[in-house]
Structure 1
């Protein structure tokens, strides 16, 4: 085999869609890791409903400007229908229910539940994109899910808190939006998907955001948290996340979310001073291990 043949074979492998998909996915997880701690910071002085819906409205204004400047082709009628699922999942559902949860529990408690996201995203990916991971993938993914809900149940003294219900709903809706958005990104482009989904939701959330706007002086720290979830979590993070899902496959790339609980807990400890309990770290590590093994089985 000639040197040129070896070089030609090595370059595509190094820059394969799968490799790029995981790289983009990891960048998205880095952006999303600060979401719950930033929400917790904003909730100190802002209404949870205002945060959950307001972040989407701010991002929608940015999306409208970007779409106008770049003169993007409008989605087809069928694509608008699928974009509605993205809007329900990641534009309205996850922000709203996670904000309600952050009003009642610490950010690191919510970060633990993000360990369920890989399973939810893979389930919707299998449904919508007809991806078919092996049976052992689902076994290990379910083990991680049982660990998350079991720990939350024990910590709550044998019952699940209302906030845990909010978190579970937010994770399911987020998985829905991730999977359908990743599928649409192959047709519309990564950042175009979140921009159109934001624009679709904007008319429905504008009035509630106006009604819920703060009537008092809000300090800079809360506005900083709100700015992060509006610009990074709700807008820029999806540029790289949907790109990763489109390139590397929804079920496979979704597994990099196993790092998100760790990232969320570290940000919560640094930003909010929340303690990192041994039990929380052990369970999160076990969840990460189970999902890592499930990725190899995918």
Structure 2
């Protein structure tokens, strides 16, 4: 099926909106690390979705909109829920809990734009040139080399979890971007987190009662950011940008997310990273840039 190509002005607006989403997402890892200083990793992963779901529920009711999307879209929302409500937060949170540095995680997640483009290609039935797949393979090789050189044995599981987070987000972004062509982006993410409340609400309650908590201003701020910005508000411009600029084109803005996360890790957490991290991040950026230009 052919998809109408948006006008240049619309594409530019979409790219700008997507960049705002990326800017919001780039603080997710530092916020998660801060949140886990006072709360259990599982509580942070699920509690952020519960917090977003409650805020989304209030927004939908305040605007007198349906609390449940059309039935024909339920499968897509189920996929998004598995990806952005459970998959990415759980996988990335556990990876950070097991010892992965924020900067290390940012480099591994740097392949997210290529993964998102690949999902868009597969879902839309397009036939990219061999250069697309060659660049994806090169990016994966760069990430593998980086993890083998910089990671310790204990970090192996963290890397696998980060790959799971990457794939979860890529699949969910593709579904969300597709739905946002006919439904406002903020409603797409609102329905996603609201439909997840029957699971996130009881799980959050049980974890809050059974896991130790030592809340501090920093951990509370981290949890608030992860729930309100990373899980909810950041998706407003993100999905709108994917819908207006195209999933692959607007997705190019993800190129800067690892670099922004490195800046936040240095500025907020005082992390120090060597030349290998910078080289790996730039290598992934170059590979992903090639995938974006070689899609069709």
The TM-score normalised by the length of structure 1 is 0.90
Determine the C-alpha separation between the residues in 2 that align with 1:114 and 1:170.
8
2:238 maps to which of 238, 241, 246: 241
Query: If you compute each CA radius of gyration, which structure gives the higher value, 1 or 2?
Result: 1
- The count of residues paired between Structure 1 and Structure 2 equals 286
Change (3 A) 1:181 1:131: farther
Equivalent runs, 1:48-87 vs 2, <5 Å:
48-73=41-66, 74-87=68-81
1:297 offset after TM fit, Å? 2.5
Equivalent pair of 2:111/2:288 in contact (CA under 8 Å) = no
Deviation at 1:251, TM superposition (A): 2.1
**Which residue of 2 is the match for residue 253 of structure 1?**
250
**CA distance in 1 between partners of 2:278 and 2:128 (Å):** 28
RMSD of Structure 2 on Structure 1 (CA)? 1.9
Taking the TM superposition and a 5 Å limit, the aligned residue runs for 1:100-119 are 100-103=94-97, 104-119=99-114
The CA distance in 2 between the partners of 1:159 and 1:116, in whole Å, is 22
Distance 1:59 1:157 in 2: 35
Residue equivalent to 1:20: 13
- Give distance in 2, aligned partners of 1:158 and 1:49: 23
Q: CA deviation at 1:215?
A: 4.4
Partner of 2:218: 221
Give the distance between the partners of 1:273 and 1:177, measured in 2 at CA. 32
| Residues 97 and 293 of structure 1, relative CA distance in 2, 3 Å threshold | same
* Offset at residue 154 of structure 1 (A): 2.1
Counterpart of 2:283 in structure 1 is: 286
Equivalences for 1:168-179 in 2 at 5 Å? Answer: 168-179=163-174
5+ residue gaps, structure 2, are 1-5
1:3-60: per-residue Cα shift (whole Å, max 9, x none)? xxxxxxxxxx995222122111111110000001110111112111000000000000
Distance 2:166 2:41 in 1: 17
